Structure 1
């Protein structure tokens, strides 16, 4: 007998986010048969709002829904300190490896393919409830308390901004256009622009540019990549454009910066990509 089959199922509060209620009847019956309490949401943003209000033990989240998709919900959940600890299991009809990898990259703990066997869902739910409950009961609170105030006190606008920042930092070389970036965090271009300006004193474009230049400075200091490769790695279209932007920001060319550092390069701190605190408003930005 395996370890997991010997672990008794824990009764839990599960939030199910899916826009097709007809497909859920067998699953709902199976979950309730195990004694779980079920809450429902029928679109991505409703799912996020109910997760913040209800604080479920686990979330089953459909990927493809009308309006914003499940990825947008997951990004918001993981950017919000009040919900970041909740396990998310994606449920999808797509067999695409790329989609499954994207979901895991966004913070999901597992993937279930439709059509599914209710018994498989119950087993996976049981496993992740055990894993979540094995952590210190105050782990989520302790993690939240260790975050900067601007993250701990995150309201809806701050969560959107944090989710967008993390999405940008996850792949600086391929930052989506502003409308797509807004859609991928469950909002629209106008609101995302306003949120960034109000909370950071910067536009989204200015944030992306600063993030790229800061990462480029780190790569120049800590790696053996050529200036051309550094430029490409952080999303500049050419080494010439990168050199001009770098000189405007740091008052020296990339090659000059690298030669000035010499053996001191390794001492520069590497910025974390897992948590990107929102900067305070900058006057004159």
Structure 2
């Protein structure tokens, strides 16, 4: 990580001419500025150049900024690069989506250049402090398919309660449903929905450790329509009902807490 005055900033925007005053302001600070004009090119340049900060548009043809942000978060080489959305997409749900997918800031293209410079400066400084505090051992590289796989798994984990259709999941990680299905089969040996079922039951087992949660609450939070459906699926997979599994957890905890005689 370079000092903020020497930083390299990657701008990913399909209409860079529309933000020319902002680009000029960035270059006026003597920062190195690279530009990519679509998400695919931006992903490639982020992997190749490992910039200190990324300014990312949302509404782009093909893959949008949210999908690209998920892929950047899934790759060891780019996951620690701060992503600031710089966009005209200002709806509340869009702003929340950007921040929930890993963006550290959300800035409107109508902002004054001075505001953009101030926000960029702050995030460069924060990133520099984080980098100084962590182990800088390089992570092993991932193939493009492995990056998509990690991004899809993370997305599914965040939306287990109301999972989008397969086509929507694939689009949100920058691919299509057939390719995503092939990636899951190749790397995990199962279909997307087989993995979803396993993840729902794994998350369900974690939630059963909380005695305050009802079966209906657990079922709903992991994407089952009813406690009955959850119980049936759980028993088929685990050989016991969720209630029996929970009792086993509680009995085990009680045994560990019993003083030796």
Residue of 165, 175, 184 corresponding to 1:187: 175
Offset at 1:153? 3.3
Find the residue that maps to 1:94 and give its secondary structure: coil
Name stretches of at least 5 consecutive residues in structure 1 with no aligned partner.
1-7, 146-151, 268-285
- Which among 207, 232, 242 is matched to residue 254 of structure 1? 242
User: Judging changes above 3 Å, is the alpha-carbon distance between structure 1 residues 256 and 73 closer, same or farther for their aligned structure 2 residues?
Assistant: same
CA distance in 1, matches of 2:62, 2:177: 15
Aligned residue for 2:88? Answer: 93
Deviations 1:12-35 (A, max 9, x none): 111100111221211121111111
- Corresponding position of 2:106: 111
Partner of 1:215: 203
- Report the CA distance between 1:138 and its aligned residue: 7.8
5+ residue gaps, structure 2: 256-261
State how far apart, in whole Å, the 2-side matches of 1:134 and 1:217 are.
Answer: 37
**In the superposition, relative to structure 1, how do residues 62 and 266 fare at CA in structure 2: closer, same or farther (>3 Å)?**
farther
Within-5 A mapping of 1:1-285: 10-137=5-132, 139=134, 141-142=136-137, 145=139, 152-264=140-252
Q: Name the count of aligned residue pairs.
A: 253
Computed over aligned residues only, the root mean square deviation of the Cα atoms, in angstroms, reads 1.9
Q: TM-score, normalised by structure 1?
A: 0.83
- For the residue of structure 2 that corresponds to 1:134, the secondary structure is helix
Kept in 1, the 8 Å contact 2:200–2:222? The answer is: yes
Cα distance change of structure 1 residues 212 and 157 upon mapping to structure 2, 3 Å threshold: same
Q: Structure 2 CA distance, aligned partners of 1:91 and 1:9? A: 19
**CA distance 1:233–1:75, change in 2 (3 Å):** same
Cα pair 1:231 1:239 within 8 Å, conserved = yes
Distance 1:97 1:140, change over 3 A: farther
Quote the offset at 1:261 in angstroms. Answer: 2.9
Judging changes above 3 Å, is the alpha-carbon distance between structure 1 residues 184 and 223 closer, same or farther for their aligned structure 2 residues? farther
How high is the TM-score relative to the length of structure 2? Answer: 0.91
